[in-house]
Amino acid sequence: MENENASKRIEELRELLNKYNYEYHVLDNPTVPDAEYDRMMDELLKLEEEHPDLRTEDSPTQRVGGPPLEGFQKVEHRVPMLSLGNAFGEEDLRDFDRRVRDRIGENFSYVCELKIDGLAVSLIYEDGRFVRGATRGDGTIGEDITQNLKTIPAIPLRLSEQVSMEVRGEAYMPKPSFMKLNEEREKNEQDLFANPRNAAAGSLRQLDPKIAASRNLSIFVYGVGTVDGKEIDSHSDGLDYLSDLGFKTNPEWKRCDTIDAVIDYIEGWSERRPDLSYEIDGIVVKVDSLEQQEELGFTAKSPRWAIAYKFPAEEVVTKLLDIELNVGRTGVVTPTALLEPVLVAGTTVQRASLHNEDLIKEKDIKIGDYVVVKKAGDIIPEVVSVLEERRTGEEQGFAMPETCPECESDLVRLEEEVALRCINPKCPAQLREGLIHFVSRNAMNIDGLGERVITQLFREELIHDVADIYQLTHEQLIELERMGEKSVANLLEAIAVSKDNSLEKLLFGLGIRHVGSKAAKTLAQQFGTMDSMMEATVEDLEAINEVGQKMADSVVRYFQNEEVHELVDELKAAGVNMTYKGPKPVSVEDIDSVFAGKTIVLTGKLSQMSRGDAKKKLEEQGAKVTGSVSKSTDLLIAGEDAGSKLEKAESLNIEIWDENKFVEELAK
């Protein structure tokens, strides 16, 4: 076939296959027999093989899965994928509603959606073509799983409009696919997946995309992260727009004008939940208006305009076989119940938290008891109560030891604490847990140096503290179990890369009591270097808005320890960075700019720079850039084809600039 004719036929086939795929996987309404679809796919495959120059990334043939990947690349989300706060009952929902009304008044509505139990993902489209997909990760950094996501038929590779945007969705495994997969694994004597969510997550993290392609995954897209050149005023409008573009959205969402209507919706789906062909673990409730979402804002961890109602935990009865003691990195000794394996809310549970000695005494828990176990929020297994009527008299009481189970040092109970704590700084368990924390994702993020490898290194006495990590050699690592040449090379590379981390990663990794990842960044921004940090007084620290007395005392006490000074010196000698590399906090008063301190909205298409670049430049000059126009907006910068935001700014008599004036002011 001539190249011109081939190009025309290829485009015809792609359009038809995309149409049939959409009807089958999104509308659930196929219009052609499977045999006809397969025939056309075979024809397209052959034409693309004969004319490889006509093959494109958004062709339906690209869903079958490419060659195996060597690993997943890290990607930064354009807009953070924050987690939601949880509600576990009607009282929590009404408290959420009260907080919303206190901030924005009575004139608003909610949108309720089923909370799909899957894997949250971000999808990037440029000019209507799917170019990248990533996991949620820690909310800021995810993993690039584009090739695996391409194998999901419900994800369009080409949209109905040539729009550039980021969307969020939940990839999931339908119940029939899950049952079929586990049947196959059972035949092959492989471990079974505990639930569809784990199966979906495991499928999308396969390095071989062909495995993901074989798992019959699907997706529901639930929100717009960013979109160029399109004004969306509400979450419900966003859902309609996503459907128009060809995305699969969940049809069961509903707009509710009151919290009572929200509760009715939740009660209805609590009963109908088993009838669905996919798993849900709750209901997501969001304020519909995006302008009101902007007004409500965020806490450090989650939006104030949304909450996730979690279905009541499933409770089951099992036998408590023993109680195990674990020593954490801060020295707290935690009792854990070892149970006869039991299925709870879709997963097999063999361990459950007992929290502390006081709880064991309060619930009169004994070894050998039959106990009620549930998952708090469908996540953390815990022992709820004891079935005393099933006791035989052979049960054994339990008492916490007086000495540490790891190092035999005396345990103490600090003032105002219920936990027993080992305060020996050389306790092996604390050192090991501290090492595991140091290499974790939110700390130094050393890939390949997980709990198993840390335990081996510690057991072989190759590492004693975090500085020893930077002295590890190829010869030492190659002797470890399950460590080949490639694994060793990758690990040494990851260790070397971690030396360049910004100071806040190191501060968090050191495990200073009361200093979380957010506080570590605040301290790093404020002091700039490790040396300045070590010289800080309690007064210096308490002068920082986000630092209280407990944290200030803890930081000063930590750096007064001579062993800490020696550790820092060893890290310096190993080449570990000791300075903050991120943007410095700047006071608006210190910025000489017409934009400083102003709340600004960008709208329409900019020709001289991207909206993202414009936002960055404004923020560098002390402006706060928001997504919606309100009475608090000081300035609207309008590009071409500005829509409803321009009209609203005019109605509120807000100052309006065109792009040329904006660029002129930037240049001053």
User: CA-CA distances (angstroms) from residue 298 to 66, 247, 403, 523?
Assistant: 40, 27, 44, 21
User: CA-CA distances (angstroms) from residue 487 to 70, 456, 491, 499, 557?
Assistant: 12, 15, 6, 19, 39
Using DSSP, state whether 588 is helix, strand or coil.
helix
In the set 115, 310, 375, 645, the catalytic residue is 115
**Rounded CA gap, 594 and 491, in Å?**
49
**Rounded CA gap, 154 and 173, in Å?**
12
**Rounded CA gap, 148 and 204, in Å?**
6
CB neighbourhood size of 574 (10 A): 15
Q: Which tokens is 178 given?
A: 């899950």
Amino acid at the residue 655? E
Using DSSP, state whether 285 is helix, strand or coil.
strand
Query: If 0-12 CB within 10 Å is exposed, 13-18 middle and 19+ buried, where does residue 573 land?
Result: exposed
**Rounded CA gap, 359 and 383, in Å?**
10
Strand partners, 220: 170
**Rounded CA gap, 285 and 108, in Å?**
13
User: CA-CA distances (angstroms) from residue 141 to 56, 85, 164, 500, 620?
Assistant: 28, 20, 21, 17, 22
Q: Which residues of 376-400 are buried (b: 16+ CB within 10 A; e: fewer)?
A: ebbeebbbeebeeeeeeeebeebeb
Q: Which tokens is 609 given?
A: 């720079």
Q: Which residues of 154-193 are buried (b: 16+ CB within 10 A; e: fewer)?
A: bbbbbbeeebbbbbbbbbbbbeebbeebbeeeeeeeeeeb
**115 belongs to the catalytic site:** yes
**Rounded CA gap, 509 and 501, in Å?**
11
The full DSSP string for 358-382 is HHHHHHT--BT-EEEEEEETTTEEE
Q: Is the dihedral of CA 404, 405, 407, 408 positive or negative?
A: positive
Phi, psi (degrees; rounded to nearest 5) at 282: 165, -165
Q: Are 488 and 478 in contact (CB under 8 A)?
A: yes
Q: Which residues of 56-86 are buried (b: 16+ CB within 10 A; e: fewer)?
A: eebbbbbbebeeebeebeebebeeebbebeb
Query: If 0-12 CB within 10 Å is exposed, 13-18 middle and 19+ buried, where does residue 667 land?
Result: exposed
Catalytic residues: 115
